[in-house]
Amino acid sequence: MNGDEVRGVRFGPLAGGYDASQVDDLLRRVAVELDAGRPAGALIANATFPRSHKAGRGYDINTVDWFLDLLARREDHSEPTGMSADPWRGLAVVNYVTRPGPGGLAGRTAAPSRRARRKYENQDQKYLAQQCAAAWRDFGQQPGTHLRWVRARAVRCDLRTAEQQTIASLRYGRPTTISTGGRTFAWKKVTKSSWPDIAEIVRPSRGEIFHPHFLAESTPQAKAIRKDGVTARAVLGLRELLDETGTPILYTSSGQQRGRVSAGCITFPDQRWLRFPVRHGWPRPGKNAIMTAVDQDGNKVARYRIPRTGYARRYGITSTISGAPGQVEITVHPDRKLTDELVLAIVISAPWVGQYFAPGGGG
């Protein structure tokens, strides 16, 4: 990424997010370093931003973290081998856009007037909406394995192939179960007795997601999850998926994949994990939303969207089981094998694209 591209980056708004003027200032300084052929990693690593207390002047914290981490990885050449040939490499997963020409930071003053700021924000939102609409339209054209998550009955949802073959079924109840590959798995809330061991397993993933990388202050969520016990489990919405012998297969944290916050996570016993950022435009954010499963190394694993049928056609989302959509289309990255582990993760996470737009709250 060069200086001009960095100058053209714009982020989605968030009330109480990072102070936009300070983020913009960092991007200008990073662009200068890149133009001069100098590394900008130290600028990024040492950056901190306060929260914005002005309406409409905050940047989405997760999005800024994502972009700056991506920029740092590219600079230190730590991108996975073969990324340049990845057919999904250019697919954006969070709410930032790179605007060419006068729409970027180069043509903007450091302290714009209220009128100019409103004009810039409207331009950014319109451009982001156009990009999201194009991505949504081209969703089915991306290479990979195409699946569909459907609500089959009142308490059952199926994961099906493009040929309508059911490869997994989730049945809500006590306990909720998932069947795939001739096996049945139980999906249960994490109990107090099992929490201490699980806490250590999920600590890296929850720290990555709940601790803003550049915030100059701690967050209520970060403070809460440092506590072991009921408070942490409630904040995380933590559940575990167990096989027939009671062996954990994965742990899910969906408590914060709501209220337009992408903090849902699936963690595996070996501490690999998936997170699920959502990219969407305005003024109807659910209309062109795409959620992406991304692993701990930043690799894209799967993409999700809600087809426009019924309620979804009008509002962009549906609300059936706990805010879950009636159908979700999924494309799995062409380099990923559809293992039982991945199938289970997809079955659990598919509803989250709709839950993202549900009112905020716990699990």
**What's the pLDDT tens digit per position in 266-285?**
999 999 999 999 998 876 77
Q: Which two tokens stand for residue 81?
A: 């081998």
Q: What is the token pair recorded at 143?
A: 């290479």
| Alpha helices (runs of H) in the chain, residue ranges in sequence order | 3-7, 20-35, 41-45, 61-75, 114-137, 195-210, 220-225, 230-236, 311-315, 340-349, 352-355
pLDDT band at 5 (very low <50, low <70, confident <90, very high): confident
Nearest to 10 by CA among 136, 128, 129, 132: 128
pLDDT at 181 over 60: yes
Give the Cβ contact number of residue 114 at 10 Å: 8
Q: For tokens 């001069």, what's the residue?
A: 36
Give the count of alpha carbons within 13 A of 357, CB side only: 27
* pLDDT value, residue 221: 52
Q: Which among 330, 333, 331, 325 is positioned nearest to 352, based on CA atoms?
A: 325
Judged by DSSP in three states, 4 sits in helix
Instruction: Decide if 291 contacts 356 (C-beta within 8 A).
Output: yes
339: confidence class by pLDDT, cuts 50, 70, 90: very high
188-196 mean pLDDT:
84
Q: Which of 356, 354, 355, 259 is nearest to 312 (CA)?
A: 354
Chain mean pLDDT for the chain: 82
- Going by pLDDT thresholds of 50, 70 and 90, the confidence category of residue 100 is low
- pLDDT of 312 > 50? The answer is no
β-strand partners of 11 = 96
Tell me if 132 sits within 8 A of 316, measured CB to CB.
Answer: no
Distance set, CA 53 to CA 19, 56, 110 (Å): 8, 9, 18
Q: What is the mean pLDDT of residues 304-320?
A: 58
**Band of pLDDT at residue 156, cut at 50, 70 and 90:** very high
Give residue 150's pLDDT band: very low, low, confident or very high (50, 70, 90): very high
State the Cα–Cα distance between residues 57 and 51, nearest whole angstrom. Answer: 10
When mean pLDDT is compared across 46-50, 112-116, 274-278, the lowest value belongs to 112-116
Which of the pair, 131 or 254, is modelled with greater confidence?
131
* CA separation for the pair 277, 92 (Å, rounded): 10
**Residue 323, pLDDT above cutoff 80:** no
**Tokens for 102?**
């006068």
Q: Which among 92, 98, 27, 100 is positioned nearest to 66, based on CA atoms?
A: 92
Burial of 123 from C-beta contacts in 10 A (0-12 / 13-18 / 19+): middle
Average pLDDT over residues 107-112: 56
| Weakest-pLDDT range from 65-74, 291-300, 328-337 | 65-74
Residue 109 CB-density burial (10 A; 0-12 exposed, 13-18 middle, 19+ buried): exposed
Distance CA 148, CA 330 (A): 6
Give the mean pLDDT of 19-48: 91
Two structure tokens written together for 23: 């983020």
Q: How many residues does the chain have?
A: 363
